Amino acid sequence: MPDKKHNNPAGWQSRLEQLGQLPGEPSYNKGAAWGKLYAKLEQPKRKNNKIWLWMAAAAIFTALLITIPWFKKEYNNQDQPVAKTRTGAEPLVTRELAIVPEGHPEPAAKGINKLVLTKRASSGNHQASGAKKPNTPIEQMELTPAISSIRITQQPFAANDNKMDSPLLSVAPIARQKKKMAVVYLNEIEAGGNNLITNQAHEKPHRTFYPNFGQTGADDIYAASKPERFTINISSAN
Amino acid sequence: MHLGQLIYEAKKGSAAAQKCLFDEMADRMLVTCYRYVKNQEDAEELMLNGFFKFFRNLQAFTYEEDAALFGYVKKIMVNECLMFLRKKKVFTIVAETAAADISFEEEALNNLSADEILNLVVQLPVGYRTVFNLSIIEGYNHLEIAALMGISVGTSKSQLSKARGLLQKLITQKGIEYARQKTQ
């Protein structure tokens, strides 16, 4: 064995074993060293705290085992409405939230929170170049003209009314009313109902010229149905 | 008193027997610790820690002979020293290729006293010294040294070879000085 070949050259081990004290160093105080050691030995043995650590770990594990299903249940029930009680001292808060499309010229009224909806067009360059997508979420929303404002109203709450125990926070969408247009029939116009404003009233009068030719039968019928329509017959003076 | 009797008394809790055991072994164990740490204060501290462990676990020890008792206590001391050196992170030994084996000149070694040998050993760098102590003095093989120090077997061999080379150089210098002194 190669290790054995050079082991213990010329009895180094035996010579060092015989060495009783450190050469060139001041001799140490053996009595003082024993005093230190004895004081250390006299101290009571430290109790093994491992059992307590294991017990604590087991208790934590048990607690987790019990609570995890409960939390899971709570998480599943989050979709259902939860009634919350409110103290009566809280004041009534009414806030109006107006949803304004981006680029809308009209500023939000004072006291109304303005929520600007941004519609970002998806660019195909990102995918083509393999570049990373921006971190900001792209929200694509089409704003329905009918619902352009949402009023968030917190209903009044009676301080001493114990019956009211719901949060009473409701979101009431206020739909803008469509402008109703009157339905006008052709016969009503003929009857002289010109007080009605219709789109037809703004139209330019249509005039048809038939030089040297008489009216066709179809034109007569059409002219009779349209009072503002004029038919001019131009005939030669001769 | 016989060491076996002292061990028996110490196991029963006799402080006097413990003191006798300490007095009997302390000097040699201090030299052992000094070989590793090269500092008397640290060596004393490590020796006391080693004896504390020995007396605390004395019930597990079964006395057979004096040499076995000394070997057992010495092993505790060596482990204490290695733990101390490991805590100080002095074993940052870079793996090196094994150097060629260097043999000592027997004549030069015979002229050296125990004190001189100890002085030569403690002059070695900490890595060389630890491997040299474990291999040459304690008799561990390279596999054991590698496990104790957390190094590879190749590194252990390399460190030992380099330690031998350095010692050879130091011994040669000593021999020249010795020859000069003799001629003068």
CB < 8 Å to A5, chain B: 101
Same domain, B16 and B77: yes
Which residues form the domain of B81? 3-87
How far is Cα B169 from Cα B19, in angstroms, rounded to an integer? 42
What tokens appear for B22 in the block? 């300490």
Query: Residue B164: inside a domain, yes or no?
Result: yes
pLDDT in tens, B158-173: 888 888 888 888 888 7
Residue-averaged pLDDT of chain B:
83
Q: pLDDT (tens digit, 9 = 90+) per residue, A23-49?
A: 776 777 888 889 988 998 888 776 667
- At residue B85, what is the residue type? L
Q: Minimal CA–CA distance to B22: which of B59, B61, B53?
A: B53
pLDDT of residue B104: 56
Question: What pLDDT, on a 0 to 100 scale, did the predictor assign at position B120?
Answer: 85
Write out pLDDT tens, residues A135-187: 544 444 444 444 545 555 555 554 444 444 555 555 555 666 667 787 777 77
Do B79 and B7 have their domain in common? yes
For residues B67 and B115, state if they share a domain: no
Whether B25 and B7 have beta carbons less than 8 Å apart is answered as no
Chain B residues within 8 A of A27 when measuring between CB atoms: none
Q: Is A81 on the interface with B (CB under 8 A)?
A: no
Q: How confident is the model at residue B137 (pLDDT cuts 50, 70, 90)?
A: confident
Of B15, B40, B52, the CB nearest to A25: B40
Cβ of B137 under 8 Å from any chain A Cβ?
yes
Question: Is B63 in the same domain as B133?
Answer: no
Residue with the bigger pLDDT between A36 and A89: it is A36
Say if A39 is an interface residue toward chain B (CB within 8 Å).
Answer: no
pLDDT at A95: 54
Residue where one domain finishes, among candidates B87, B118, B150:
B87
- DSSP letter at A145 equals T
Do B117 and B73 reside in the same domain of the chain? no
Q: Are residues B10 and B73 in the same domain?
A: yes
Average pLDDT over residues B140-151: 89
Angle, helices B3-12 vs B15-37, to 10°: value is 110
Chain A contact for B118, CB < 8 A? yes
Output DSSP code: residue A115.
E
Give A18: exposed, middle or buried? Use CB within 10 Å, 0-12, 13-18, 19+. Answer: exposed
Task: Kindly report the nearest CA distance between residue B92 and chain A, in angstroms.
Answer: 24
**Same-domain check for residues B83 and B118:** no
Q: Report d(CA B98, CA A9) in Å as an integer.
A: 20
Q: Is residue B98 part of a domain?
A: no
pLDDT of the residue at B118: 85
Look at the block and give the residue holding tokens 């709570």.
A74
Question: Which amino acid, one-letter code, is at A107?
Answer: P
- CATH label of the domain that carries residue B23: 1.10.1740.10
User: CA–CA distance from A91 to each of A86, A150, A166, A172, B66 (Å)?
Assistant: 11, 21, 16, 20, 91
**ipTM over 0.85 threshold:** no
Q: Rounded to whole angstroms, what are the CA distances from A199 to A177, A178, A195, A196, A202?
A: 20, 17, 13, 10, 6
Q: How confident is the model at residue A59 (pLDDT cuts 50, 70, 90)?
A: very high
Tell me if B116 is assigned to some domain. yes
Residue A149 DSSP SS3: strand
pLDDT of residue B81: 93
Backbone dihedral angles phi then psi of residue A20, each to the nearest 5 degrees = -90, -30
Quick check: B37 and B43 in contact, CB under 8 A? yes
| Interface contact A35, partner B, CB < 8 A | no
Q: Does A17 touch chain B (CB under 8 A)?
A: yes
Question: Based on the domain organization, do B82 and B17 belong to the same domain?
Answer: yes
Say which amino acid occupies B11.
K
Total count of domains within chain B: 2
Of the three residues B35, B53, B87, the one that is the final residue of a domain is: B87
Strand (E) or helix (H) holding B146: helix B142-149
Helix, coil or strand: residue B180: helix
**Distance in angstroms (rounded) separating the CA atoms of residues A142 and A180:** 24
What pLDDT sits at residue B92?
60
Inter-chain residue contact A15 with B117, CB threshold 8 Å: yes
Domain residue spans of chain A = 94-122+135-174, 186-232
Residue with tokens 């006395």: B63
Condensed to tens digits (0 to 9), the pLDDT of residues A4-24 reads: 444 555 577 777 777 777 777
| pLDDT cut 70: percent of chain A above it | 29
What number is the average pLDDT over the span B23-32?
A: 90
Q: Among partner residues A10, A30, A45, which is closest to B26 by beta-carbon distance?
A: A30
